[in-house]
Chain A
Amino acid sequence: MSLTNYLVLAAILFAIGATTVLLRRNAIIVFMGVELMLNSTNLLLVTFARYHGNLTGQVLAFFVMVVAAAEVVVGLAIIVSIFRTRRSASVDDVNLLKS
């Protein structure tokens, strides 16, 4: 089996994550879509690390994980705080930008 299969899998997961972001209204699910996208890039990084015989890709994936963890913490805090004030977790309700 060629390593390319990993890459294709990562691409598919990324596309599904992106579609989730576009189609789902629930902020938590949208967020999980984002996580899915991050994870697929991690898979890509790990696979390329193996391609090149160089661990830097894995280090990068590690950093992605850490940053993603931070992002999740803050993002979920925002969701909770929005839910508290609006009793809703729908991203469509957060549309004050519209005049």
Chain B
Amino acid sequence: MSGTLATVHAALPAVLPAALEETGRTSTGEAVLFWVLAPIMVLAALGLLFARKTVHAALAVVVVMVSLAFLYVAQDAVFLGVAQVVVYTGAVMMLFLFVLMLVGVDRSDSLVETIRGQRWIGVLAGVGLGVVLAGVVGRATYAPARGLVEANAASNPVGVARLIFGDHVLAFEVVGCLLVVAALGALVLTHRRRLTPRIGQRELAERRVREGGSLVPLPAPGVYARHNAMDVPALGPDGRPLEHSVPRVLRVRGQEADAREYAARIDRVLAGGWANGAGSFTSATGDGPPLGARALAVHAAGQEDAPDDAPGGADGADEPSAASADAHTADGDEMRDEEVAR
């Protein structure tokens, strides 16, 4: 780090001749830098004042702070310039953005004033303050600036360090304590007390055993040969469709596909026809009773006859893909339910 600083310090005088002239005026280079940066900073500061979105305001402040870092360096305060970048733009502003994200970035603030008269008072006070302060510092007469060439003889960080660890070492220690206290304070302030016992994996598992029911994950839906879709129930080992393999949401919405229709399509395909009746695809041929029908026969034994054709089979192929947008595993569904319940 010190190496980097030294390098920067060594490089800077070449770029920004900070030394003052005899009259205490700056070099032209510095003047140019100032006149470029100052308007940008003022504009950015005004951005803070007027920005509707907090993120924009934060970015405007970042601009001001980086520009300040430049000005510090131009004013022979290399250490402070670097510290400004590290502390303010690197840490403080990032912290700001972080909190911003936490609080919610998408809300834009209303600029309508709610306290009566506050806007005029604020503007008056702000402008008045600016005028008074600028008037005071601008019209005061100063002795010719002496510059920091002598003070920075052993490089700026060394000079600053001598003062900090020499004259101001006690203040330094105290400030260190302050930082520790602040960190602890932040911890305490943001700590949220847990009001209910924590429910982890172990507790969930134990509850499932206690309540009985299925211990293993529910079967995944859509394991027909042609259709791997969420709305199609899986078939059990005995060839029967498993209703609960379809996500509960789809079942509630009535978007569940009819297993018998698919069985019929399978039979048709196996018989050498198009699955949709008009498709160009031909499946492999085979003898024997149609597989799907056979499976369904077991399932619907004693029930009504298997339908010959699916009524809405034309777009059957597209439906599952549409439904898969909100795909859920059965297990995931259950997890979601628990969360809602909690």
> Are A and B direct contacts in the complex by CB distance below 8 Å?
yes
Q: Is B36 an interface residue (CB 8 A)?
A: no
In whole angstroms, what is the CA distance A64 to B160 when docked? 14
Q: Is B281 an interface residue (CB 8 A)?
A: no
Q: Is B234 an interface residue (CB 8 A)?
A: no
**Which B residues are in CB contact (< 8 Å) with A53?**
145-151
Contact residue among B41, B102, B109, B147 (Cβ-Cβ distance under 8 Å from A80): B102
Q: Are B42 and A28 in contact (CB under 8 A)?
A: no
Q: Are A78 and B142 in contact (CB under 8 A)?
A: no
Q: How far is the CB of B176 from chain A (nearest CB, A)?
A: 8
Q: Are B88 and A32 in contact (CB under 8 A)?
A: no
1/0 contact trace for A5-18 toward B, CB 8 Å? 11111111111111
Q: Are B130 and A65 in contact (CB under 8 A)?
A: no
CB-nearest residue of chain A to B172: A63
Chain A interface residue count, CB cutoff 8 Å, equals: 71
From known contacts A70-B182, A74-B185, infer whether A13 and B64 are also in contact, taking CB-CB under 8 Å: yes
Q: Are A23 and B118 in contact (CB under 8 A)?
A: yes
Q: Is B79 an interface residue (CB 8 A)?
A: yes
Q: Are B137 and A8 in contact (CB under 8 A)?
A: yes
In whole angstroms, what is the CA distance A4 to B24 when docked? 11
Q: Are A1 and B25 in contact (CB under 8 A)?
A: yes
Q: Is A94 an interface residue (CB 8 A)?
A: no
**Which B residues are in CB contact (< 8 Å) with A15?**
126-127, 129-130, 133-134
From known contacts A55-B163, A73-B182, infer whether A23 and B122 are also in contact, taking CB-CB under 8 Å: yes
**Which A residues are in CB contact (< 8 Å) with B30?**
1
CB-nearest residue of chain A to B150: A53
Q: A5-B34, A24-B109 are in contact. List 12 more A-B contacts (CB 8 A).
A: A3-B26, A5-B38, A13-B42, A19-B49, A22-B118, A23-B119, A32-B61, A42-B68, A63-B172, A65-B80, A66-B178, A76-B99
Chain A residues packing against B (C-beta within 8 Å): 1-20, 22-26, 28-29, 31-33, 35-36, 39, 42-44, 46-47, 49-56, 58-59, 61-63, 65-74, 76-81, 83-84, 89, 92
Chain B residues packing against A (C-beta within 8 Å): 20, 24-26, 30-31, 34-35, 38, 41-42, 45-46, 48-49, 51, 54, 57-58, 61, 64-65, 68, 71-72, 75-77, 79-80, 83-84, 87-88, 91-92, 95-96, 99-100, 102-103, 109-110, 113-115, 118-119, 121-123, 125-127, 129-130, 133-134, 136-138, 142-143, 145-152, 156, 159-160, 163-164, 167-168, 171-172, 175, 178-179, 181-183, 185-186, 189-190, 192
- 3 A-B pairs with the lowest CB-CB distances in the bound complex, closest first: A19-B126, A15-B130, A53-B146
